[in-house]
């Protein structure tokens, strides 16, 4: 969006941008935390606003690696799984045996070497080197969980892809690539409406245990918005009369 019309959304000299930070609950693919900021705000600052749940796992990419903030997970008895930054300095304390053929190349307990990093994170870390055969990439994970098998930690990080799918679904199906207004309130209102639509559709899908995709449910509801029919009836009878491919030619959902 042009910076002249969106001066509040700082990003570049001639371009404005907003960021949507999301904490997704993988048990139901429901966002539990949504934060909207300008494009210049560092992603890691969102961790300051999280209310950490003891025993929960928080999976994030390497952009959120800040040792002082990560130590808050330890203090809250919560667990994190993230990627190692290439410039991290550490001392290896011990190495655990790894099973051949699982993709795990090493499973180590390490201690940070840099004095500033030690002050921010005065505890041990678990460092797992994993080779992903599907992508051919070598991945190095950091976590404060020392009990789960290394393969489980790798699988947990792989589940982070659900966040990318969430953003892809919202951008493809909820029409937020273009905004009706450029003010702070207009842009954030449109984004919040899109998120609310996603959450409502996801809740409907989960509550009636439907096998239909979220997009199909959204299309069905859009062409029956003014019908006084129970949701279960609409979502079970309509697909049999209208094949999924035909729904794309019906009314486009608007908000």
Tally of CB atoms within 10 A around 216: 20
Residue with tokens 């069905």: 220
What sign for the dihedral angle of Cα 222, 226, 231, 233?
negative
Tens of pLDDT along the chain (255 residues) come to 444 456 666 666 667 778 888 898 877 678 888 888 887 778 898 899 889 999 999 999 998 999 999 999 999 999 999 999 888 999 999 999 999 889 999 999 999 999 999 999 999 999 999 999 888 999 999 999 999 999 999 999 998 888 888 888 888 877 777 777 777 888 888 888 888 888 888 888 888 888 888 888 888 888 877 778 887 888 876 555 555 444 443 333 333
Give pLDDT, residue 211: 82
Residue with tokens 């330890």: 74
Give pLDDT, residue 255: 33
Rounded distance between C-alpha atoms, residue 103 and residue 208, angstroms = 38
Of 108, 139, 140, nearest to 126 (Cα)? 108
Of 216, 218, 186, 184, nearest to 199 (Cα)? 218
Q: Which two tokens stand for residue 235?
A: 């979502």
Asked if residue 171 lies in contact with residue 190, where contact means CB atoms within 8 angstroms, the answer is no
Give pLDDT, residue 248: 42
Alpha-carbon distances of 199 from 145, 162, 216, 247, rounded to whole Å: 31, 15, 15, 21
List the Cα angle 162/180/192 in 5-degree steps. 40
H helical segments located in the chain: 67-75, 115-120, 150-158, 161-173, 184-207, 214-223, 231-241
Give pLDDT, residue 185: 84
36 pairs with which residues across the strands? Answer: 20
Of 117, 99, 110, 96, nearest to 143 (Cα)? 110
pTM of the model: 0.78
Alpha-carbon distances of 142 from 90, 110, 127, 154, 212, rounded to whole Å: 12, 10, 5, 10, 37
């Amino acid at each position: 969006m042009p910076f002249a019309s969106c001066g509040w959304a700082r990003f570049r000299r001639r371009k404005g941008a907003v960021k949507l930070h999301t904490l997704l609950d993988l048990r139901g693919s429901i966002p539990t935390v949504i934060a909207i900021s300008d494009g210049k705000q560092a992603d890691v600052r969102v961790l300051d606003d999280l209310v950490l749940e003891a025993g929960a796992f928080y999976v994030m990419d390497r952009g959120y690696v800040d040792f002082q903030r990560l130590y808050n997970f330890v203090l809250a008895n919560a667990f994190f799984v993230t990627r190692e930054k290439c410039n991290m300095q550490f001392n290896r304390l011990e190495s655990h045996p790894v099973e051949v053929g699982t993709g795990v190349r090493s499973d180590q307990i390490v201690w940070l070497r840099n004095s500033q990093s030690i002050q921010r994170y005065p505890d041990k870390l678990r460092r797992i080197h994993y080779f992903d055969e599907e992508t051919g990439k070598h991945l190095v994970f950091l976590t404060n969980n020392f009990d789960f098998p290394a393969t489980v930690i790798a699988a947990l990080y792989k589940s982070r892809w659900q966040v990318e799918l969430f953003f892809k679904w919202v951008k493809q199906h909820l029409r937020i690539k273009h905004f009706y207004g450029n003010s702070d309130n207009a842009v954030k209102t449109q984004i919040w409406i899109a998120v609310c639509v996603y959450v409502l559709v996801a809740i409907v899908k989960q509550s009636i245990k439907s096998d239909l995709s979220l997009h199909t449910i959204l299309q069905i509801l859009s062409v029956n918005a003014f019908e006084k029919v129970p949701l279960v009836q609409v979502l079970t009878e309509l697909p049999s009369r209208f094949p999924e491919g035909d729904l794309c030619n019906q009314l486009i959902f608007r908000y």
